[in-house]
Amino acid sequence: MSTGFASEALFSGLPIGILSDSYKAGHFTQYPKATEASAYGEFRSGYDKDEEDTRCVFYGIRYIVETFLHRRWTRSDVDNVSKFYATHKAPFNTEYTWPKDLFYDIVEECDGFFPVKIEALPEGMCVNSHVPVFQITAKGKYAGLVTFLETLLCQVWYPTTVATLSRRVRQIVEEGFDRSVDEDRKFLVPSRLRDFGFRGCTCTEQSVVGGCAYLLSFEGSSTMSAAYYAQFMLNGGKAVTCTIPATEHSVMLAWETEREAVENMIDLYGDGIFACVMDSYDYERALREVLPSVARRKTERGDGYLYLRPDSGDPVETVLMALRAGHEVFGSEVNLKGYKVVKGCGVLQGDGINIDVLRQILEAVMEAGYSAENVAFGMGGGLLQKVNRDTMSFATKLSAIVPESTGEERIVMKAPKTDYVEGEAGMRTPTVFPKDLVSPEDNLLEVVYDHKPVDKEWDSFDRVRERVDATWRGLEPAADAVSQQMRHLQAEHNPHE
């Protein structure tokens, strides 16, 4: 007999009282009694520990705030969480320590909303590593809950990492276009990468969060969950992405011959853009025999564009094979920069693509004399799955506390002996920031939540895209983000100097 618990959890969501690590539930008793406390989050390295380019694209705080913090806490929720904590303990221990009374007070005194203030960078803002991307402040009897939401807010690492990866890919594509593509064809840049990551995601939520992060830099996506969410939830109904018809192996194998399958695609979509997978049987033979056999049908159908899609083999070599075949069958024109552009035909490589392989392919294509505009890419696991919190070393740390015993703010620095990075002139820099070290006009953090939902109009997805582009281009790749005030404090608090 069903209790209805699963469906209730599905529709009402998990209570915020358990959206944390177990051990953090007891920290409210472990902190010294305080009137105020602050914590911050930062990325401590560039993508994949890159020291020459430490830029990141901050994105995803809106989803966390609206999905989890805008939900009003109820007494029934606290009752259920209380039952949970009563059983969430090691054998022979007493009931697990958690801020039970404070959570009931949240319902009665705070209208059910978590009693902290959260400030964050604007969505899409690009900053170097070590710049705080959000700050949490808690006051009064709730000061001990300052880091309770750390686990939840830390999840901003995922969309930020995907957004940063996507922007770095776009930079590689733009560099290839600058070298080998005529100016009037650079409008193609946003279509050179496609998101094929939905099927490899752990859940639909990941496809939405990661897929939207990718769309900040490109416009092609097969992840419709993200495309729909970005269009209708974040952009007022205005489309943010598009796609093209394409075959897969099941379609190609359903026909008696590959030629019939390709001819069917030409008949259906030959006056537009479409893609055909070409390695169902023998990739080399398909390029040598099938492609020439359908050439006349394609040219008679119209001015459509056929993407040849390798799906196995060495990615660099299979792309070059397709370009050579397209050149032989359809011919090429040499653009103003001296590179060949195949007529009405290109390559869509979606197998085995990550940022490094993509760079290798583009370099090989241009070395072979072909323009970068001949090639588009698809990324699945390499885009939405093969990243983690350590890819850019994200962390949240306490930065300041005002103990009741002194009434004076105490700046907190995490400075273990093994946790330093080299800075200018060999200076060792703790990976920490206290709060309020910048003047108001220099503070980029905006209030996104203040003890309850705030009256904030979030930027449209189009506006966030514009911010990504402008701030990425305007930022020094490896700028030192540590202020002089911070360096002075580090010197004062550094026990190893």
Q: What is the pLDDT of residue 485?
A: 66
pLDDT at 7 over 60: no
pLDDT at 59 over 80: yes
H or E element, residue 195? strand 193-195
Report pLDDT digits (tens) over 232-290.
999 999 999 999 999 999 999 999 999 999 999 999 999 999 999 999 999 999 999 99
H or E element, residue 311? none
pLDDT at 344 over 70: yes
Q: What is the mean pLDDT of the chain?
A: 89
Sequence-ordered list of residues with C-beta below 8 angstroms from that of 272, at least 6 positions apart, any chain: 244, 245, 304, 305
Q: What is the pLDDT of residue 440?
A: 55
Q: What percentage of the chain exceeds 90 in pLDDT?
A: 80
Q: What is the pLDDT of residue 491?
A: 67
pLDDT at 70 over 50: yes
Q: CA-based diameter of the chain, in Å?
A: 86
Dihedral (CA of 271, 276, 281, 282) sign: positive
More confident residue, 435 or 373: 373
Report pLDDT digits (tens) over 205-238.
999 999 999 999 999 999 999 999 999 999 999 9
Tokens of 433: 């920031």
Q: What is the pLDDT of residue 2?
A: 41
pLDDT at 444 over 90: no
pLDDT at 385 over 90: yes
Domains of the chain: 15-148+393-493 (3.20.140.10)
Q: What CA–CA distance (Å, rounded) separates 376 from 22?
A: 45
Report pLDDT digits (tens) over 232-241.
999 999 999 9
| Cβ atoms of 134 and 118 closer than 8 Å | yes
Burial tier of 104 (Cβ tally within 10 Å: 0-12, 13-18, 19+): middle
More confident residue, 427 or 179: 179
pLDDT at 391 over 90: yes
Position of tokens 């709060």? 435
Q: In what order do the strands lie in the sheet with 375-379?
A: 220-221, 193-195, 375-379, 345-349, 305-309, 273-277
Q: What is the pLDDT of residue 484?
A: 65
